[in-house]
Amino acid sequence: MNEQEKIRLTPAARLGKWLVSGPPFLFLLLFFVAPSIIMVLASFRYPGEFGALAPIASADSDTLHGLTLETYEFFFSDIIYSYVFFKSFLVALATTLICLTLAYPLALLIARSPKKSRDLMVLLVVLPFASSFLIRVYAWMILLGPQAALSQVINGMLGVFGIAQVYLLFSPFAVLVAMVYVHLPFMVLPLYTNLEKHDPSLLDAAQDLGANAWQRFWQVTFPLSLPGIFSGSALVFIPVLGMFAIPDILGGTGDMLIGNLIKEQFLATRDWPFGSTLSIMLTIVVLLLVWLAVRLGRTRGRYA
Amino acid sequence: MALLEIRNVTRRFGDFVAVDNVSLNIEAGEFFTLLGPSGCGKTTILRMIAGFDLPDAGQIFLDGRDLADTPPEKRPLHTVFQSYALFPHMSVAQNIAFPLKMARRPQAEAQKMLHEVLEQVHLADKADAYPHELSGGQKQRVALARGLVNRPRLLLLDEPLGALDAKLREEMQIELINLQKDVGVTFVFVTHAQVEALALSHRIAVMEAGRVAQVDEPSKLYGFPQSRFVADFIGHINMLQAQVVESAHGHTRLAIAGLGEVIASLHSGVTAGAKCTFAIRPEQVRIGTHGEVSELKNHFPGTVHNFLYRGDVTVYKVQMENGLLIEALLPNAAPGRAELYEVGDAVRVGWRHDAGVLLHE
Ligand SMILES: Nc1ncnc2c1ncn2[C@@H]1O[C@H](COP(=O)(O)OP(=O)(O)OP(=O)(O)O)[C@@H](O)[C@H]1O
Ligand SMILES: [Mg+2]
């Protein structure tokens, strides 16, 4: 708790505080906490005959179903599910790292540009949001398709060396490309926000004290940007972990990630309890990672 | 050979000449101050010495070597920035050790140097603190220690005491003098506070609009300013329009309109009839009754126009018969106001025949 929260408020101020924070609080309660509880409960039940959940109480004792741990047993009985988790984790990690390496120089460039051009550059970074997410992903279908220039050029070159043709579309490569493309702004923005606040006199001081450009970056700019790196990474890693649309559209049949698996349980297999279990496992993994990131960020961000 | 030689350096920003043909020689071990009003180009000179800015014309030599092609990180000098520019993600010890790390000093030697300087700035107990946990004075000391630890040839200080309150400022001034004496590093100090410059420096360069107006020891600068600008900028001074009557027989006689004749010490190079300014410091002007000032060569009647009680002294403004105002300082040697002249009282002001200077411009 920080100092300001310890200050005692007048009744009017307290009321004002509730009026302001009340609606978003209710919203979260209604649309996040409540569904989460429903999901946790659902994961302990049996699937209904035609989807949904089997009733807990029934007049007919043959169809009577109680609560069960079956779905959790099922999850751990087959290594395939852990494997899908692991694969999704790797995709999310790769996407995050690629986004970071692409976004860092860009964010640094924007942050060090003259003030006037900065806003325009930030606008360009967020401009893709102006068109629909699905349209942008479908666009990659065309760009990576076998008739597209990219495939033609690559396969043309491979042909010269007598190497078999490659198909860019419907591959882990296509998924990764689109994942990076879609999430790049989420990495650029927090990084830029952080880098833009750096005091330029720190770099002058470092240079004055004998640091060359390389040392100035690694000793000053980089450590000071760690909070930006953490928040950007969280904003990329977490959505990628649960993403199903991109693998659905660009990944082809073989490439299933957790997001697809969960979607499958609800829409195709109609096994709600197992879908809930998978979602809970995913949530636990994400919370663990967030907790880890916060801990890391706290020791690093002592000065902030 | 001077440690640092600035030779005919000029720096323009567009049409504006920020530094105009400045030449300075700074000796090893010196506490040298650049003093001048805001915007006169002090920081620009410092930045050119440090290498963050380059002269449009002229050269800067360190130990006789032209610095033109040496980038800031390779110059054997350090800067203490006004904002301190401490690295917020490093502890006090890490901040101070930074230049040692960059210079790749061996571990044992670096540790020794670090502890030595921590002792010197009285921060040994704060070694593990972070900058945001320090007071203004402590941050100031860290910045100083960081600049000094690697034993630079030269330490540049840009208004380092500007952010401190008056009391702390005075304390730091004394520490700064002692520190400079201890480490023997040459200091180039920038300030627009003339009291600070007088108290700290071995020599001062007074700057006016990009030019050096006068370079001198503090007492010379204060006692014998060479121009109206320097006289006016440093301390308070009465400036009286005067005409030379005669300059011979060991003294110069001046006619001051409405006041009468004033006897001053001999100024060579003035001829009878020349117009000039007679400048005299308020503390050199005595105020009293006729009997108290009549033994002085120069004394004139006037009335008290107003006064300011300052605690240690009282500043009187005395109106002379021609309407001229002369400022006089009266030390309050006894409790209360030493001598109680009220507004409107008839008094006399006087000064010794060797007080004051002649400025011819
Ligand atoms: N990069 C720049 N571009 C344009 N003009 C500049 C630049 N740097 C300094 N100036 C101008 O040069 C003049 C001298 O600036 P400088 O910072 O050296 O003054 P200073 O003596 O340090 O003043 P202060 O006591 O306020 O710090 C100022 O009028 C300033 O506006
Ligand atoms: Mg300045």
**Which residue, among A199, A208, A212, A300, would best test binding to B if mutated, counting the most B CBs under 10 Å from its CB?**
A208
Rounded to two decimals, what is the model's pTM?
0.82
Q: How confident is the model at residue B345 (pLDDT cuts 50, 70, 90)?
A: confident
* Domain span including residue B273: 238-359
Q: What's the confidence (pLDDT) of residue A58?
A: 62
Same domain, B55 and B200: yes
A227 to chain B nearest CA, in Å?
A: 12
Least confident range from A34-43, A44-53, B69-78, B300-309: namely A44-53
Same domain, B348 and B205: no
Residue, of A295 and B215, whose pLDDT is higher: B215
pLDDT at A104 over 70: yes
Same domain, B96 and B178: yes
pLDDT at A293 over 80: no
A294 to chain B nearest CA, in Å?
A: 17
Once rounded to an integer, what is the mean pLDDT over residues B148-169? 89
Mean residue pLDDT across chain B: 90
Q: What's the confidence (pLDDT) of residue A158?
A: 87
**Contact between residue B231 and residue B359 where contact means Cβ atoms under 8 Å apart:** yes
In a mutational test of the pocket of ligand 1, which residue from B43, B53, B159 has the highest number of ligand atoms less than 8 Å from its CB? B43
pLDDT at A296 over 80: no
Question: Each residue of A142-177: pLDDT tens digit?
Answer: 998 888 888 888 888 888 888 888 888 888 889 999
Question: Each residue of A110-127: pLDDT tens digit?
Answer: 999 999 999 999 999 999
Same domain, B16 and B151: yes
Q: What residues contact residue B293 under an 8 Å CB cut-off, 6+ apart?
A: B286, B287, B299, B348, B349, B350
| Cα distance between residue A280 and residue A260, in whole Å | 15
Same domain, B332 and B223: no
**CB-CB under 8 Å, A210 with B150:** yes
Same domain, B25 and B121: yes
* Domain span including residue A188: 80-303
Q: How confident is the model at residue A37 (pLDDT cuts 50, 70, 90)?
A: very high
**Contact between residue B6 and residue B23 where contact means Cβ atoms under 8 Å apart:** yes
Find, in chain B, the residue whose alpha carbon is nearest to that of A225: B89
pLDDT at A60 over 70: no
Q: What's the confidence (pLDDT) of residue B280?
A: 92
Once rounded to an integer, what is the mean pLDDT over residues A274-297? 87
CATH of the domain at B329: 2.40.50.140
Helix%, strand%, coil% for chain B, nearest 5: 30, 35, 35
CA nearest to B299, candidates B309, B288, B310, B307: B288
% of chain A at pLDDT higher than 70 = 91
Same domain, B340 and B325: yes
CATH of the domain at B82: 3.40.50.300
Once rounded to an integer, what is the mean pLDDT over residues A4-29? 83
Q: What's the confidence (pLDDT) of residue A302?
A: 54
Of B200, B232, B264, which one is at a domain's C-terminal end? B232
Listed ranges A76-80, B156-160, B256-260; the one with the highest mean pLDDT? B156-160
Once rounded to an integer, what is the mean pLDDT over residues B150-170? 88
Q: What's the confidence (pLDDT) of residue A102?
A: 97
Of B181, B216, B232, which one is at a domain's C-terminal end? B232
Q: How many domains does chain B have?
A: 2
Question: Each residue of B224-244: pLDDT tens digit?
Answer: 999 999 998 998 899 988 888
Ligand nearest to the CA of B38: 1
Q: What's the confidence (pLDDT) of residue A1?
A: 41
Question: Each residue of A199-235: pLDDT tens digit?
Answer: 999 999 999 999 999 999 999 999 999 989 988 999 9
Same domain, B165 and B208: yes
Q: What is the secondary structure of A172-226 as a DSSP string?
A: HHHHHHHHHHHHHHHHHHHHHHHHHTS-HHHHHHHHHTT--HHHHIIIIIHHHHH
First to last CA, chain A: 15
Q: What's the confidence (pLDDT) of residue B250?
A: 79
Same domain, B338 and B308: yes
Same domain, B127 and B219: yes
Q: How confident is the model at residue B247 (pLDDT cuts 50, 70, 90)?
A: confident
**Which residue, among B73, B95, B142, B150, would best test binding to A if mutated, counting the most A CBs under 10 Å from its CB?**
B73
Mean residue pLDDT across chain A: 87
**Contact between residue B25 and residue B4 where contact means Cβ atoms under 8 Å apart:** yes
Question: Each residue of B60-119: pLDDT tens digit?
Answer: 999 999 999 999 999 999 999 988 999 999 999 999 999 999 999 999 999 999 999 999
Q: What is the secondary structure of B41-95 as a DSSP string?
A: SHHHHHHHHHTSS--SEEEEEETTEE-TT--GGGSSEEEE-TT----TTS-HHHH
Same domain, B198 and B248: no
Q: What's the confidence (pLDDT) of residue B54?
A: 95
Amino acid sitting at position A42: A
Same domain, B93 and B183: yes
CATH of the domain at A266: 1.10.3720.10
ipTM value, please give it. 0.83
pLDDT at A2 over 50: no
Q: How many domains does chain A have?
A: 1
| Cα distance between residue A158 and residue A164, in whole Å | 7
**CB-CB under 8 Å, A302 with B87:** no
Of B191, B217, B232, which one is at a domain's C-terminal end? B232
Find, in chain A, the residue whose alpha carbon is nearest to that of B80: A205
pLDDT at A299 over 70: no
